[in-house]
Structure 1
Amino acid sequence: MFKPLHQRLNLYLDGDESYIFVPAEPVGAKSLVVHRHSGDIVVDSSNGSLPFNAKRSGKTVYGILGLIQLSISEYLIVITGRELRGKLQGHAVYRAADFEILPLDPSVSVMNPPHPVEAHLLALVKSHLACSMLLFSYDCDVTRRMQAQYVAKQNDEGRAFWEVVDDRFFWNKYLQSRFIDIAESNPQNDLSPFILPVINGTFDVRSSAVNSHTVQIALISRRSRFRAGTRYFRRGVDKDGHVANFNETEQIVIIDPESAKETVFSFVQTRGSAPVFWAEVNTLRYKPDLQIMDLQDTVEAVRQHLKEQTILYGEAKLVNLVDQKGHEKPVKDAFERYVAEANVPQVKYQYFDFHNECKHMRWDRISLLIEDLKEDLIRDGYFHRIAGQPDPVKWQLGVVRTNCMDNLDRTNVAQAAIAKWTLNMQLKAAGMSPSVLSEDDFVDNHEQLSMNLRELWSDHADLISKAYAGTGALKTDFTRTGKRTRAGAFDDLLKSALRYLKNNFFDGARQDAYDLVTGTWQSHKGPSSAMFLITDNRPLIIRAVPYMLTFALFMILAGLTLPRTSDYSLSYYFLFWLTLFGLALGFTLIHGVDYVSWPRLLPPTDIIHYDGPGFRSAHKGKGFGMDVGKLKAGASAQWLKRRTDKQMEEIELGTKKRVD
């Protein structure tokens, strides 16, 4: 068992001198002191005595998320509200529900920041905290799947929690870096009881009664902190083999929990962007321009990603659901080509033409994919442990890695179907006395169990989709009910429209928030170095056209709704304003890249300007035949500059840990 964490802290403010965190229990535990002027972080050795002027904060602190440096001050982020999401084998799992941001600089106010740049960066941090599903447990490692914890249990004994977690899913690793550095360099000043690892993901647990057994199903998804971001601004792979939107999803099944015959199953799947260098460049059109970059590093990046999968999980079965024709075909072709060139042992490729096989809302035909995977699923198995037995009955020897274009909607349907098939196999497993399901019985025959499974996977799909694309998942009517409906298709249409708006006009700031909180971009002291965040240097004509468009639309609506003051014809009136509206709209579309909400901290300039080998579906949204090399992603917006070598050095990707 790893060293215990403090679960509740009382915060005291010693004027402008320090923040003091006193553990509520155990009584007499050492306090943590953060000195505001020097930034020093120490474990107090004064036997619990507090400074005379120290005043207690009105809020209980349930954990310290970490420290972040912005342009003027460092800020301490603490969790002041938590929501119980459920219990896993008796261990509570919480969602961080409320936060407080404490400035170290006594002259800085979070409510009234001293500079617009500081206000902008603080707003990014607040928005990320408010919109993220941050999960934690004090006595259960939610960062690692059960099999990995079992393998490492002897090595974990007596170590600090932060030392044993899966580094990929330690979401606040960058925020905790100061605490970790101190804990590593000075064992006498051990901050480990205050270092709370948090994951960004999903967790839910449901119980069902099946044939005189209690069947508890928990679903937990862990999002990688590497290459994290939003739908169109994080795609593909990076040079270190990290892919966008990588999630490890673990379905845990506990039969008769907390009994002498408790039986535990764990089945893990992964998802992630197609591991090649590719992107989609927003142009305000519904379909962005598809860009695939054939770089010298591609084969090695693909090889690193696939090797990591096999080292961590065993044999990797790559299930590709990308369309084999139309807009998506180049991604499929590049994926297949580079996987073949990488030639990594223990990697098998499986293509499934989802849209063709399941057209006309026949999504039950996902069973064809299960049939193709059946042999591998049986061979690779799942983790199976029975209470009282010294060794597991079974190990999971491989993983199914699924992807579509976004790794959301089609991927959700496929993963849910695979998980359901595996659950049927688990509940009939040998070694259970007796088995929950007989050989001729199935999950679908038990309404409560079937409904719980569908809702778990549907809620999980919605949360992952909101984090990446900004809306709930598409196609969840099938996951929830087992049927594809016209109402579900209409709901998908509305979600698609909302995704378009968010991905084109709001996701730039969301991506900046990801890059700031995960440490992919790090702020320098002094707001002058980040003025590009709050200035708009686009040409006047670019900035003026949206106002012209809006005013023309207003005048057209006014002509339709306001009472007439004379009998003369309005033909010329409407002709003028419709012409102006059409010209403004056409100009906006022709210069579409100027109006997209691009990330400002790490803008994708290299992708927009890419002119090397590869594939580009079109060059839309870049104006009237202008030299692409002179364009910035905001046309001539000066804030969108190419990355410098110094900026690249600032990107912290951390050190990957092999956990089993």
Structure 2
Amino acid sequence: MEDYPMRLYVSLKYFVIHWPRQESYLVLERNTQRIYSTNTFNFSGKGLTPDEILYIDIYFFLGVIPIETVLYIAVVTKAESKGKILGKTIYEISEIELIEFNRSEDPKNLENSKTSIKKLLSTGFYFSFDYSLTLSISYESQGGTLHDESDKRFYWNFELYKEFISQDINTLWFVPIIQGFFSVFHGDAVVLALVSRRSCERAGTRYNCRGIDENGNVANFVETEQILIVTDNIFSYTQIRGSVPLYWGQSGITAQLSFTKSREMSITAFCHHADRLIEKYGHITMINLLSSSKAFEYNLTNEWEAIFNKVYSNYSQHLSYTYFDFHSNCKGQKFHKINLLIERISNFLQYYCYYSSDGSKQQGVIRTNCLDCLDRTNVVQSSISWDVLMNMLRKVNMDYVIKQDASFVRAFKLQWADNGDYLSYQYTGTGSTISAVTREGSLGLKGLIMHGITSINRFYNATVHDDVKQISIDAVLRKKNKTQIVNKIEEELNKCSQEYSQFIDIRIRVVTWDLCGNKLGFINEITVSEDFCNIVIFAFQQVSEFGLYEDLLVSAMAGYALLKIICIEDSALVVFVEDRLIEDVTMFDHDSVYLPYKGKISNKKALTVIFELYDSSFAFVACHLVSGTDNNSARKEQIRYIHSQSFGSSEKLLEDFDCKILFGNLNFRVNLCTFQILSYLNDENYEELFKTEQLTHNLKYGYLPGYKEPEITFPPTYPYVEGSDEYDRLKSRGPSWCDRVLYSGKLIPQIYKDLKIIASSHRPVEAQFVLQVKKVNQELKKETESRLYEELSPRPLGSLPKMTCAKDLICS
């Protein structure tokens, strides 16, 4: 019997995966849907006899796949070793099983869906227990698990593990799979391997998935790595392929091509695509192999080149483009003319170089495309790879010897031909139309006949099978189905939280003030409040010598504990919490970021604190945005930047908080001239002013999603003549509500007003909110949890694959 690494045990209440290599058990409770790992699991201690337990030997656990309302445990039951790199075995999945774990309701017959998913995952998917298939061989491991150090672009079962991560399962259990191709040849003096990794970010079948999406992901994006090992020397060369990076598609029996969105939208998406590639690979050379004699390919080239030319000035240091009409140049099977293309890009190939274990790095990649990025693309990529491969061998004085080695040359051709067939099958359902060119150097009569047959089969697959296959791909990547494992203990605990919780109203006060370069005075005026608040936050912009006044501010806040002062240059954020609450503050963190403006970092900044109090989460973001009536878009972009880049680009601020407040000198303006604004102010006609007020408009039309603002009943906060209540009419900017407070979460606004302090051209603004927080009695919660555990029971198990009874095993 094959030596399987793991074993899955199944009973009415438990799914248990035993991994002897890690001396660990992964337990899934069907009644509670709780997931945990443990070093021991005693079935008899759970009230089970061996007769009640079945088992099946598996390679590993793929994750949980939802089909409609049913959750299935996916496990790999058969796999084939495809060879080793550096002593590490690579496998191709050849069979999986889907075993019903739980369902929210009685489902329809799902056998066809299960069969389609099993078929999808049983060809062209690879894994290893100790080799990072999602990463190139040049990656230097930091000692993390395969999951922790993976490239999520190529990690096809990443979404199938996400709920396990949320329940703090050790990531050693997670084995990444890639879709693509792998082959390795072991010669007398060399090892030659080819690895292709298909992206799962815009995955799908040919006519269902073309072009680009709004995040810059393109269809049929594949990273292909040629690996060469000569004694102790390791070499690697990477190329990429991907659909034409515009919004386009094909539909109907004639596969009519159309541009699906405007050129302006394609420009934005193209720039996202270019930015991502440059960040990952350095310099990019884009090779376009489309035909000029086919009208729809010609139109696609023209549109792409128009967009490329429009943005090129921004990318001239990192991006280049080459057009090579493959059909025209190679007409009559003159495939040797591909050398003309290689000569044309030879400077880039020399500059990009390749990875070598002696310390050299690859500086850029060739990005090749035709229409489908399959047949023509694969032939050209193989030719480029051979050219680079000879340079690698020349470095170790092996080029002449290897060129005479027929087995090596044959292995290279077979690897690239099989690579073309695999990638083509995954995208179109058939092999490559011209793989014979790579395999034999020309199509020949048999190849020409197969070209025609393959083209017919592709059309058949597109009209008959592709939609079903697309549904399976979406299921594996969990693109649409939201059914998920929910820890029912947590779910039920939340439903009866009143049994072990008490609810407390927390009052929050925030004050923002732009001092325009003045020192902080009027401390008593800004610290006094009619209502006692449990949390008080101050934000100051353009404050001079703030450090001189810190102690005075703290002294004025009797009854409060200072949680944090952040002072960066002329901006400060000060956080106070009522004395009795300070010990209950947890998960505190803070950050500051400088904000970009016109492609450069400006002197404007954002200061942020986040923490938890009892069972509720808080985030306070104090910021000073760019000024100017014409900079509405720049201010919106700065707010987006704050949320994406704070806390080391971790996107913490994009998470849901019970209380999130963004406040400060946001600098949004009224789009009217000074005379019109003053006229409306004389009549206290705020309604007309808010019709053209920028922030009001942004909030109304969802340009700052999630945020709201309390109703404004006070006059514009800027620009006053310092020391008076009069607006400065000499300023070119009309009066505006620059100083604002926005909020999201479960807050209830109580107060929103300006403070009548005339020491600056800005008026301070105060807002108060109430948040109901939950305080948990942990002992009562534990008692409730124990009761719920006994009450929950699983549904009957659905149909199971053929398994063995565990009555002859000792389960401990």
TM-score, with normalisation over the residues of structure 2? 0.56
> Is the Cα contact below 8 Å between 2:182 and 2:195 reproduced in 1?
yes
Task: Report which of the two structures shows the higher radius of gyration computed on alpha carbons.
Answer: 2
- Of 186, 189, 202, 1:207 maps to 186
Q: What is the identity, as a one-letter code, of the residue corresponding to 1:230? A: T
Aligned residue among 426, 442, 446 for 1:483: 442
Q: Aligned to 1:133, which of 124, 134, 141?
A: 124
Offset of residue 471 of structure 1: 0.5
- 8 Å CA contact 2:95, 2:118 repeated in 1: no
Following TM superposition, by how much is the alpha carbon of 1:25 offset from its aligned partner in structure 2, in angstroms?
2.9
The CA deviation at 1:513 is 1.1
What residue is the counterpart of 2:282 in the other structure?
314
Is contact 1:179–1:195 with CA below 8 Å preserved after alignment? Answer: no
Whichever residue aligns with residue 271 of structure 2, its letter is R
Pairing 1:115–2:81 present: no
Q: Which residue of 1 aligns with 2:243?
A: 273
Distance 1:444 1:161 in 2: 36
Paired residue for 1:32?
Answer: 26
Corresponding residue number in structure 1 for 2:16: 20
Which of 353, 360, 376 aligns to 2:348? It is: 376
Q: Distance in 2 between matches of 1:333 and 1:292?
A: 16
Question: Partner residue of 1:168?
Answer: 153
* Count of matched residue positions in the alignment of Structure 1 and Structure 2: 478
| 2:368 maps to which of 402, 417, 426 | 402
Any conservation in 1 of the 2:66–2:478 contact (CA below 8 Å)? Answer: no
**C-alpha distance in structure 1 between counterparts of 2:426 and 2:66, whole Å:** 24
1:565-644 map, 5 Å: none
Match for 1:76: what amino acid? I
Residue 252 of structure 1 pairs with residue 252 of structure 2: no
Distance in 1 separating the partners of 2:4 and 2:153: 24
How far residue 480 of structure 1 moved from its aligned partner, in angstroms, is 0.6
* Amino acid of the structure 1 residue aligned with 2:332: H
* 1:13 to partner: Cα distance: 2.0
What SS does the corresponding residue of 1:273 show, helix, strand or coil? Answer: coil
| Equivalent residues of 2:71, 2:483 under 8 A apart | no
Aligned pair 1:241/2:196, yes or no?
A: no
Structure 1 residue 78 corresponds to structure 2 residue 75: yes
Alpha-carbon distance in structure 2 between the residues aligned to 1:25 and 1:293: 52
Query: What's the CA shift for 1:445?
Result: 3.4
Shift of 1:409: 0.4
Q: Is the 8 A contact 1:143 1:222 kept in 2?
A: yes
| DSSP 3-state at the match of 1:235 | coil
1:94 counterpart residue number = 91
Partner in structure 2 of residue 67 of structure 1: 64
**Could you report, residue by residue, the CA deviation over 1:225-272 in whole angstroms, capped at 9, with x for unpaired residues?**
01100111100000000000000000000013xxxxx11100000000
Letter in 1 for 2:275: K
Q: Secondary structure at the match of 2:9?
A: strand
Unaligned runs of 5+ in 1: 1-5, 184-189, 257-261, 387-391, 526-654
Local SS of the residue matching 1:300? helix
Please tell me the residue identity of whatever aligns with 2:328: N
Provide the residue aligned with 2:466 in structure 1.
507
1:468 corresponding residue in structure 2: 427
Code of the aligned partner of 1:238: D
How many angstroms does 1:316 deviate by?
0.3
Query: In the alignment, residue 230 of structure 2 is paired with which amino acid?
Result: I
Cα pair distance change 1:364/1:516, threshold 3 Å = same
What is the CA distance between 1:407 and its match in structure 2? 0.0
- 1:609-659, Cα deviation, whole Å (9 max, x unpaired): xxxxxxxxxxxxxxxxxxxxxxxxxxxxxxxxxxxxxxxxxxxxxx999xx
Q: Distance in 2 between matches of 1:514 and 1:224?
A: 12
For 1:23, the aligned partner's letter is W
Residue identity opposite 1:17 in structure 2: K
Report how far residue 119 of structure 1 moved: 4.0
Please give the secondary structure, in 1, of the residue aligned with 2:102. Answer: coil
Which of 36, 44, 53 aligns to 2:49? It is 53
Aligned 8 A contact 2:9 2:56 in 1: no
Q: Is the 8 A contact 1:300 1:342 kept in 2?
A: no
Distance between the aligned counterparts of 2:206 and 2:474, measured in 1?
A: 14
Give distance in 2, aligned partners of 1:274 and 1:512: 24
**Structure 2: distance between partners of 1:366 and 1:462:** 20
Cα distance in 1 for partners of 2:186, 2:104 equals: 52
Asked whether 1:197 is paired with 2:170, we answer: no
Q: Residue type matched to 2:274 in 1?
A: L
1:356 to 2:322 alignment: no
Question: Structure 2: how far apart are the matches of 1:497 and 1:300?
Answer: 36
Contact residue 289 and residue 376 of structure 2 kept, 8 A: yes
Alignment partners' CA distance in 1, 2:435 and 2:323: 22
- Checking the alignment, whether the CA contact within 8 Å between 1:36 and 1:106 is kept in structure 2 is no
User: Could you tell me how far apart the structure 2 residues matched to 1:192 and 1:292 are?
Assistant: 41
1:267-298 deviations in Å (ceiling 9; x for gaps):
000000000000011x223x434445325322
Which residue is equivalent to 1:143? 134
Counterparts of 1:327 and 1:263 in 2: how far apart (Å)? 46
1:597 is aligned to: none
Aligned-residue offset at 1:515:
1.4
Whether 1:181 aligns to 2:166 is: yes
- 1:135-158 CA distance string (max 9 Å, x none): 1111110100122x12xx3xx22x
**Cα distance in 1 for residues equivalent to 2:70 and 2:435:** 44
The equivalent of 1:284 in structure 2 is 253
Q: Tell me the residue number matched to 2:398.
A: 436
2-structure distance, mates of 1:398, 1:40: 46
Does the 8 Å contact 2:98/2:114 carry over to 1? no
Instruction: Give the partner amino acid of 2:97.
Output: E
Q: Name the structure 2 match of 1:420.
A: 386
SS at match of 2:179: strand
| Structure with the larger RCO, 1 or 2 (CA within 8 Å, 6+ apart) | 1
- Measure, in 2, the Cα distance between the counterparts of 1:96 and 1:21: 19
**1:337 corresponds to 2:337:** no
**Aligned counterparts of 2:116 and 2:258: Cα–Cα separation in 1:** 28
| Equivalent-residue separation in structure 1 for 2:333 and 2:53 (angstroms) | 60
Indicate if the aligned counterparts of 1:7 and 1:138 stay in contact, CA closer than 8 A.
no
* Aligned CA distance change for structure 1 residues 279 and 446 (closer, same or farther; 3 Å): same
Q: 1:120 and 1:454 mapped to 2: Cα distance?
A: 38
User: Which aligned pairs between 1:512-523 and structure 2 lie closer than 5 A?
Assistant: 512-523=471-482
Shift of the 656–195 alpha-carbon distance from structure 1 to 2, 3 Å rule, reads farther
Instruction: Read off the aligned partner of 1:471 and give its amino acid letter.
Output: T
Displacement after TM superposition at 1:374 (Å)? 0.9
1:164 counterpart SS class: coil
Distance 2:4 2:279 in 1: 34
Separation in 2 of the partners of 1:384 and 1:45? 41
Give the Å deviation of 1:222. 0.3
The residue type equivalent to 1:270 in the other structure is I
Deviations 1:156-185, CA, capped at 9 Å, x for gaps: 22x2321110010010011111112222xx
Separation in 1 of the partners of 2:103 and 2:134?
A: 35
Contact 2:257 2:296 in 1 (8 A): no
Deviation at 1:104, TM superposition (A): 1.6
Q: What do residues 381-409 of structure 1 show as CA deviations (whole Å, max 9, x unaligned)?
A: 000115xxxxx1x2100000000000000
How many percent of aligned residue pairs carry the same amino acid? 28
The answer as to whether partners of 1:127 and 1:513 remain within 8 angstroms in 2 is no
Residues 1:436 and 1:45: Cα distance change in structure 2 (over 3 Å):
closer
Work out the CA distance in 2 between the residues paired with 1:324 and 1:656: 43
Equivalent residues of 1:143, 1:165 under 8 A apart: yes
Q: CA separation in 1, counterparts of 2:459 and 2:68?
A: 32
